[in-house]
Structures are given as structure tokens and as C-alpha cells.
Chain A
Amino acid sequence: MKSIAELEAIRQRTLLRMNLNGEDPNGDIRVVVGMATCGIAAGARPVMQGFIEEINRRGLSHVTVGQTGCIGMCRLEPMVDVYVPGSGKVTYVHMTPEKVARVVAEHIVNGRPVAEFTIGAAEENKSSDR
């Protein structure tokens, strides 16, 4: 059983680790995969597996891979958020295991988001299709 003070400590510690707005410039890079039914059905599991393998293979100790629920945009699943401390969140859509290596190499290692996999690019394409 945790006391109210202990819970508060967990809150502060976790907030720092989650680093949602990049408050901690030395925090870990976080890869968060949408793993609700729609995401899983669209193929989120192999994507998550791909990130774990690629990050282990490269021995990147400052990167964590986690999961989350449904963000609501079923048609863009599988979706992955990459939080890089200091430079905010980038949302990748229609992810596949094949795309993972590039996101790890370019974004996570070299700090350059893979523009054409992002939600912005997907929406650009859609509006030009119309």
C-alpha cells in the first residue's frame, strides 16, 4: 500500500520520465506504439517488435519502447509517437516493420524525423489526392 506522499513521488518521477513536453533535456527518447484493437489489427505488434529489435541491435540504451491506447485515427494505424527530449513529439502513421529501421536510423540516432512517414505528410498526400 502506498501513502499519499508516495503516490505523489511516483507522479513526479513518472512525469519526468514521460517527458511529454521535453522538460528534461537529458531524458530518454521514447517510442510509443498505439496498441489498441484497431492498431493491433492493422499490424502494430510487428512494428513494436521491430522497434525493440532494432534498438537492441544498435545497443541504444537511452531509448525506451512503450505502448499506449487508441488515439482515434483508425485509418492511419499503426501509429507511433516518438518523443525526443528538447524537440517534441513526432507522430508516424501507417507504420510497417520495414519503415522501422529508417525511423531508428534517421530520427532516433541522427535526430532528423523521417518526414514522409509522418502524419503531416500523410495528410498532405490526402489533400493533393482530392
Chain B
Amino acid sequence: MEIYRAHVLCCSGTDCTASGSTQIFERFEQLIKEKGLEKEVKVISTGCFGLCKDGPIVVVYPDGTCYSHVKPEDVDEIVSEHLAKGRPVQRLIRNKETEQEAAGKTLEDNEFYRHQKRIALRNCGIIDPENIDEYLAMDGYKALEKALTKMTREEVIDEVLRSGLRGRGGGGFPTGLKWKFTYNSQADQKYVACNADEGDPGAFMDRSVLEGDPHSVLEAMAIAGYAIGASEGYIYVRAEYPIAVKRLEIAIAQAHDYGLLGKNIFGTGFDFDIKIRLGAGAFVCGEETALMRSIEGKRGEPIPRPPFPAVKGLFAKPTMLNNVETYANVAQIILKGADWFSAMGTERSKGTKVFALGGKINNTGLVEVPMGTPLRTIVYDIGGGIPNGKKFKAVQTGGPSGGCLPTELLDTPVDYDNLVEAGSMMGSGGMIIMDEDNCMVDIARFFLEFTVDESCGKCTPCRVGTRRMLEILNRIVEGKGTMEDLDKLEELAAGIKSTALCGLGQSAPNPVLSTLKYFRNEYVAHIVDHVCPAHHCRALLQYIIETSKCRGCTACMKVCPAGAIEGEVRKPHYIDPSKCIKCGACMETCVFKAIQRK
């Protein structure tokens, strides 16, 4: 191999070639030959540097100087100054200052992370989830060791109880109490179960924990098994999460290898094993009694409580069910103590909560913040606000069981009780941001459609009641509703809430009730004015050509699939509302912005 003093890398990616990098390459070769540098400097045509917007790009090694927006006439200067005399051409160097400053910023300096406190997600994105050693290195299985070798079963339960940890799956029931109730039940066999049937649309924190830190769930389940006196655990996980399932399987096998699951763990005589069961696409299986029926291989229909699972659950034995995120907190509580955990959060909601930010927000993603963080901090400081300069309208929390909160409530500190008071709920932590283009009636309809589809059909209020509500909402978004419909919605909602069998049915009216409460004017606009304020509901839309702006270019007429546009060339056109199918194609085509949607 020949050794060169310097290398000149000319980008020959598509964009740089389009902006003239071929001529630059040729000019370099020519000049280097002219100056007799061809034994010292090598010109190479390379692939894309990924800096296309600053192309053509030339990089000179060994110093790594990066030139941007290079023109063929600049080549002379680069060769005579930089390559011959070793003096980089400052005016062509890609804005270096900002680059170096930017490189100094790590993930942790990022605004997105500064407000976060990661407990449940502590290892996600740091360790290799398929390597138990890396989990161990993060103090993994130390909590199990502490519980088994230094704590009594009662002390473990007391620690969880005192921490104030509440169920992260939605209901917010105190976790320690659940453990205590199951501990108190007498039986030859008890079970620990993990609800990984994450079904709320827009929530994916459980998937993230299972994919990024599966051992944290296994360790917590083993601790729970010790505390309540169970030797078997089941994880019920959605089949839609194949990667999570695979990583769980690997994690269980590795924990077995190390003796952290199986017989006689740490030589203490405690046995514990975990099995995985796959869901098969039924939202209702996130409800605890339905989930247990499903593990038993039956239709996942809820059953009335009592008896509670703590008394009679899986295979008719006392069963303690927690969700993934709840478990992900447990090892830390055992290791660092209840006081450490309960120092975070609000009076009745301790610790942190993971939220999945989605919808109309700049920084979609998963965030973990202390309980009590105001919605505004989550939406604006962490989430980076609303894209495209649009206005914030509402934040939906709690999925199909929750509600939509308006601008006025942005300063609400987020915890279980505040959200319920506002007419929503924590749910599993989905947070969908809506802007001015989202119609709140349609959002309520969307969630109702979801519940109707997912209702298991066992109890009448849910099976029939939600369907009646959906029919009314469908009428309203088509502009055929009446003001009496709003009363009927409220009446049905109250009936369903108080009589449905399980949590799915009881909470199904929440999206309707909360939007009726905070966005009633939008319902009224649909009913009385036959207008959708967000210009979303198709049946109520109207496309109108403004005659003053229309030049009669006929572009819209040609593109209209329904033949609804009439007019002569160079004269204003007109849309026939009776033929218009409201596809919006005309509006996209018009270069004069003469077409308006109302």
C-alpha cells in the first residue's frame, strides 16, 4: 500500500453530485498533478457524508478539515493553501464553532432528560437486555439477595407498603396492600402474575421495560413470590410484542443458569419459577380477572369481584397481579428503602411515573417524571411543545378509560387523584397531545368505537350501552345530532359507569364525559351550527372557491374525482356542494390558495 501525506475525500453522494462534486473531484486531480503532489496527496471519491444540505462536501485528512458548499473555483485555494502549505481555508470550513459546542452535549444535557427522574426505566438504553451480567452490574438481583437473606416476608411487604407505591397499570391501588392481602390468604399454592398486556393505545412503557430491562421484572416477581409465599409466576404478555417476548425468554433462561430462578435460590430454600403466556389480541384481558381467565386458556371475560384475586384468582388460587412498570420499581424500593421512594412525588402518589408522549408534540417518546410534575412541564419543557406553530388544544390521558384535559388544566400537577378529579385518569400513562386540528367530538367517538369493538359482551351496560353512545356520536359528527342527544349521552354514561361489570365498561364513558365537560361548545357547534370547528368531520366540511383569488386555471377541475367543479377557463370556478365528496384534492392542487375548507 502506498503511503500518502494527505487524503482529499470528495463526496460523490447523490446530492453532492447534483451540486457539482464531479467537477470538484476532477479539478483536484488536475491541480494536484500540476503541482507535482500526486505522490503525496490522494484524491478519493467517497460515499455520502450525510451532510447533503451543505454539499458539495470535501474532507481533508489527516486533520479532518471539513469544507462545505465547495465550488470548483475554490479548489485552487484549497490545493495551494491547505495541501501545499498546510493552512486550512478558513472561509470554507463548515461552521466549526457550533459543531464543537454541539458535540459537547450528551443525552443527559438534553432538555428532554433534564426534568426526568428514571427509576422504572433506570437501565433502559444503558444495559444490554440480553446479557444478565450487565443487569447484575447495575446492582441487579441485589434486592432479591437482600430480601431473601436479610429480610423476613413481613418486612418486605412492609417496605413496599410504606413506600406508597401504587399500581402503575391504571387503577392506582396501593401495591403493598395487594401483597398483604395475598400474603394473608391461606392456600397450598399461590401465584404471582405480571400484567404485560399493555393495551391502551398510545402507551408503550411496559414494552420498553420488557425490551430494555426484562430482569428488573423477573427480580421483582421473585421478591413478590417470596413475600406472599408463591413459588410460581406467570407473565401475560401481548403477542404483538415479539421482541419483548424473546428478551423475556432469554432473561428467564439466564436467570435459571445463574440460579436466580428455580430451586433453592441463594441456598435459602426458596423456589420460584416464571412462565410466559401470550395474549391473543383482546383489550379486555388487561382487566385482572379476564387476564387470569385467559391464562387458564379460556375466553378472557371478567368475572364479578369479590372474591378478589388475592383470595381466589388464577386456577382458583390466591393470586397477586401487578403490572410491568409497578414491578420495575420494586427492586429499587427494597434496595434503597421506602423512605427514599416516598420522598418523591405528592402526598398520595409517591415515586415517579412513566408517560408515553405522542400525537401532536415535538418530542414524542417515553419520559419518566416525579409524580406531581405539572402537565405544562411535560408538554412544553420535556415534550418541546406543539409542532408547526399550531395551538395546544387538549391532552388525553388514560387511554380509552381516561379523558381529555384542556388548556386551563395545564398547570395541574399530575398524580392519580388530581387526574381523577379532573375527569380523567392516570391509566397506564399514555399521553396524547391534540392541537387545533383535532375534533374533540371525533376523538370521543374514536375511543367509543374502540370500546365497542373490544367489549367482551358479557354484561349489558357495556355491550349495548356503549354501542348506543357510539350511535349518538356518529349522528353528531355527521351533523344529524340534536341537543337532546347530549342529555341522552350523559344519562347513558352515568348508567354504564355505575352498572358495568369491569373496569373497561365502567370507564368507557370517560372520554365522552370529559369532552362534554370541557369542549361542550364543539358538540354544540356540530349540532346547532352544523360546523366542525376543527375542520375535521368530513360530513360537515365545505370546500369553497374564493372568486376573488381564483384565476380560472382549471387545475382543480381536472383533479376533482367527482366532477363537482364547474367553470370556464380564466373565469372563477365553482364547487357544486351536492357532488363534492370532500376529498380535498382541489385544495392541494390550487397554487393560488383560492380554495378554503370551512
* Residues of A participating in the B interface, judged by any CB pair closer than 8 Å: 1-4, 7, 10-11, 13-15, 18, 20, 32, 34, 36-38, 40, 66-75, 79, 81, 88-91, 96, 98-99, 101-102, 106, 110, 112-113, 115-121, 123-124, 126
Choose from A69, A102, A120, A123 the contact partner of B125 (Cβ within 8 Å).
A69
Q: Please name the residue on chain B nearest to A122 by beta carbon.
A: B102
Interface size on B, residues (CB 8 A): 64
A18 touches B134 (CB 8 A): yes
A68 touches B127 (CB 8 A): yes
The stretch from B46-54, B410-418, B457-465, B501-509 touching chain A is B46-54
The distance from the CB of B365 to the nearest CB of chain A, in whole angstroms, is 5
- Roughly how many angstroms separate A10 CA and B145 CA in the complex, as a whole number? 15
Residues on B with C-beta less than 8 A from A40 are 243
* Residues of B participating in the A interface, judged by any CB pair closer than 8 Å: 47-51, 64, 94, 98-107, 109-112, 121, 123-131, 133-134, 136-137, 139-141, 145, 149, 204, 207-209, 211-213, 241, 243-244, 258-260, 262, 266-267, 362-368, 384
Can you list 11 A-B contacts with CB-CB less than 8 angstroms, sorted by A residue number?
A2-B260, A7-B258, A14-B136, A70-B124, A72-B112, A73-B365, A90-B103, A96-B50, A116-B50, A117-B50, A123-B110
A118 touches B102 (CB 8 A): yes
With A37-B211, A72-B365 in contact, do A119 and B106 touch (Cβ < 8 Å)?
yes
Choose from B105, B126, B362 the contact partner of A20 (Cβ within 8 Å).
B126
A89 touches B266 (CB 8 A): no
Residues on B with C-beta less than 8 A from A18 are 127, 134, 137
Residues on B with C-beta less than 8 A from A110 are 64
With A89-B106, A90-B106, A118-B103 in contact, do A2 and B259 touch (Cβ < 8 Å)?
yes
The distance from the CB of A54 to the nearest CB of chain B, in whole angstroms, is 12
Number of A-B contacts (CB under 8 A): 154
The distance from the CB of B545 to the nearest CB of chain A, in whole angstroms, is 33
A67 touches B64 (CB 8 A): no
Residues on A with C-beta less than 8 A from B109 are 120
A120 touches B104 (CB 8 A): yes
Residues on B with C-beta less than 8 A from A79 are 125
Residues on A with C-beta less than 8 A from B384 are 126
A102 touches B213 (CB 8 A): no
B137 touches A11 (CB 8 A): yes
- Roughly how many angstroms separate A123 CA and B262 CA in the complex, as a whole number? 47
B102 touches A116 (CB 8 A): yes
With A10-B136, A73-B365, A121-B99 in contact, do A116 and B51 touch (Cβ < 8 Å)?
yes
Residues on A with C-beta less than 8 A from B134 are 14, 18
Residues on A with C-beta less than 8 A from B127 are 18, 68-69
Residues on A with C-beta less than 8 A from B267 are 3
- Roughly how many angstroms separate A15 CA and B142 CA in the complex, as a whole number? 15
Residues on B with C-beta less than 8 A from A118 are 102-103, 105
Residues on B with C-beta less than 8 A from A89 are 106-107
- Roughly how many angstroms separate A116 CA and B129 CA in the complex, as a whole number? 29
Residue in A11, A81, A101 with the greatest tally of chain B CB atoms within 10 Å: A11
- Roughly how many angstroms separate A79 CA and B110 CA in the complex, as a whole number? 14
Q: Mostly helix, strand, loop or mixed at chain B's interface?
A: loop
B125 touches A68 (CB 8 A): yes
A91 touches B133 (CB 8 A): no
B105 touches A120 (CB 8 A): yes
Q: Please name the residue on chain B nearest to A88 by beta carbon.
A: B106
The distance from the CB of A121 to the nearest CB of chain B, in whole angstroms, is 4
Residues on A with C-beta less than 8 A from B211 are 36-37, 69-70
Residues on A with C-beta less than 8 A from B110 are 119, 123
Residues on B with C-beta less than 8 A from A101 are 47
- Roughly how many angstroms separate A64 CA and B2 CA in the complex, as a whole number? 30
A68 touches B106 (CB 8 A): no
Q: Please name the residue on chain A nearest to B389 by beta carbon.
A: A130
Given A1-B259, A34-B125, 5 additional A-B pairs, CB 8 A: A18-B134, A70-B211, A71-B107, A73-B363, A110-B64
With A71-B124, A118-B103, A121-B103 in contact, do A37 and B136 touch (Cβ < 8 Å)?
no
With A72-B121, A119-B105 in contact, do A14 and B207 touch (Cβ < 8 Å)?
no
- Roughly how many angstroms separate A68 CA and B121 CA in the complex, as a whole number? 12
Residues on A with C-beta less than 8 A from B100 are 115
The distance from the CB of A5 to the nearest CB of chain B, in whole angstroms, is 11
Residues on A with C-beta less than 8 A from B368 are 72
Residues on B with C-beta less than 8 A from A116 are 50-51, 94, 99, 102
The distance from the CB of B42 to the nearest CB of chain A, in whole angstroms, is 15
With A68-B128, A68-B212, A116-B51 in contact, do A10 and B121 touch (Cβ < 8 Å)?
no
A70 touches B243 (CB 8 A): no
With A116-B99, A117-B50 in contact, do A72 and B366 touch (Cβ < 8 Å)?
yes
A70 touches B125 (CB 8 A): yes
Residues on B with C-beta less than 8 A from A88 are 106
B366 touches A70 (CB 8 A): yes
A71 touches B125 (CB 8 A): yes
A15 touches B208 (CB 8 A): no
Q: Please name the residue on chain A nearest to B265 by beta carbon.
A: A1
Residues on A with C-beta less than 8 A from B104 are 120
Residues on B with C-beta less than 8 A from A2 are 258-260
The distance from the CB of A72 to the nearest CB of chain B, in whole angstroms, is 4
Residues on B with C-beta less than 8 A from A14 are 133-134, 136-137
- Roughly how many angstroms separate A116 CA and B260 CA in the complex, as a whole number? 44
With A11-B139, A102-B49 in contact, do A66 and B128 touch (Cβ < 8 Å)?
yes
The distance from the CB of B147 to the nearest CB of chain A, in whole angstroms, is 13
The distance from the CB of B289 to the nearest CB of chain A, in whole angstroms, is 29
Residues on A with C-beta less than 8 A from B124 are 36, 68-72
Residues on B with C-beta less than 8 A from A68 are 124-129, 212
Residues on B with C-beta less than 8 A from A75 are 362-365
A119 touches B50 (CB 8 A): no
Residues on B with C-beta less than 8 A from A124 are 98, 102
Residues on A with C-beta less than 8 A from B365 are 72-75
Q: Please name the residue on chain B nearest to A9 by beta carbon.
A: B136
